[in-house]
Amino acid sequence: MIDFHTHVLPGIDDGAANFEETKQLLLSQKNQNIEIVVATPHYNHECPIEKFVDHRDSSLSYVRKKIDVDIPEIVPAAEVALYTGLSEEPDLKRLCIGETDYILIEMPYFYWNSWYYDELYRLVNNRGVHPIIAHLERYASMPGQVSRFNKLLEQDVLVQINASSLLKFFPRQVVKELWSKNAVSVLGSDCHDPKSRPCTISAACRVILRKFGADGLEKMMSNAEAILENKIVTL
């Protein structure tokens, strides 16, 4: 099992506030049979990429040195807020997931201008970097709004959904609509802390099994493995 979207690293964003919260999150993930955690602290363009990567990597080293219990493997990555010029960044690859050419992209929470689509197009076609759109279901406040994603889904992008969205009625309906469009690729908890935004992957997997069957769950798991091996994912 892979948790594809997490804020487990301490003191780098609005996720884990300190080592103790990091440890609790990682222990919870271990207890949910998660073997690999993709650490995706928020990145926005106001911070130079090099500075962000240094901060993230030193936070990860600190956790690896200090942790005294068995935890999942942690893969460094970022949740990158899309901005004009991202596709031209010389250090773009440093924001990708581990050593892969995949990048987790956070879309803006307001109207998507055409340049957002252009930027995604350039990531793929100019730089060979494959966008994975973080928690797409969160951009539809109600079921029936999935059609607004059509233009996005026509592009060469993958989609990550949040485990917590499967546990509430309205977001689950949005996920179902995305699923019916064959638009769901991978699952992440988007956990931020042990109390208010914990990891709920195992509960979400039970919902996936019930709603989409063992094949559906297996497909998400094999997609996640393929991405971490930097293989092409076919939907």
Question: Which of these ranges, 44-52, 73-81, 122-130, 202-210, lies near Fe ion under the rule CB under 5 A?
Answer: 73-81
| Nearest-approach distance from CB 68 to Fe ion, in angstroms | 27
| Nearest-approach distance from CB 44 to Fe ion, in angstroms | 12
Q: Which is nearer to Fe ion, 42 or 127 (CB)?
A: 42
| CB contact at 8 A, 78 and 44 | no
User: Does 193 help bind Fe ion (rule: CB under 5 A)?
Assistant: no
Task: List beta partners, residue 2.
Answer: 36
| Nearest-approach distance from CB 133 to Fe ion, in angstroms | 12
Sheet of 2-6, strands arranged across = 2-6, 36-39, 73-76
The residue from 190, 201, 205, 219 that contacts Fe ion (CB under 5 A) is: 190
Question: Which of these ranges, 27-35, 90-98, 111-119, 183-191, lies near Fe ion under the rule CB under 5 A?
Answer: 183-191
Parallel, antiparallel or unpaired: strands 130-133 and 102-106: parallel
Q: Which is nearer to Fe ion, 126 or 220 (CB)?
A: 220
| Nearest-approach distance from CB 190 to Fe ion, in angstroms | 4
Q: How many CA atoms lie within 13 A of 154 on its CB side?
A: 6
Residue whose Cβ sits closest to Fe ion: 190
Number of residues engaging Fe ion in binding (CB under 5 A): 2
| Nearest-approach distance from CB 26 to Fe ion, in angstroms | 16
| Nearest-approach distance from CB 208 to Fe ion, in angstroms | 20
Question: Which of these ranges, 20-28, 47-55, 187-195, 203-211, lies near Fe ion under the rule CB under 5 A?
Answer: 187-195
Q: Which is nearer to Fe ion, 190 or 193 (CB)?
A: 190
User: Does 13 help bind Fe ion (rule: CB under 5 A)?
Assistant: no
User: Does 79 help bind Fe ion (rule: CB under 5 A)?
Assistant: yes
Q: By CB under 5 A, name the binding residues for Fe ion.
A: 79, 190
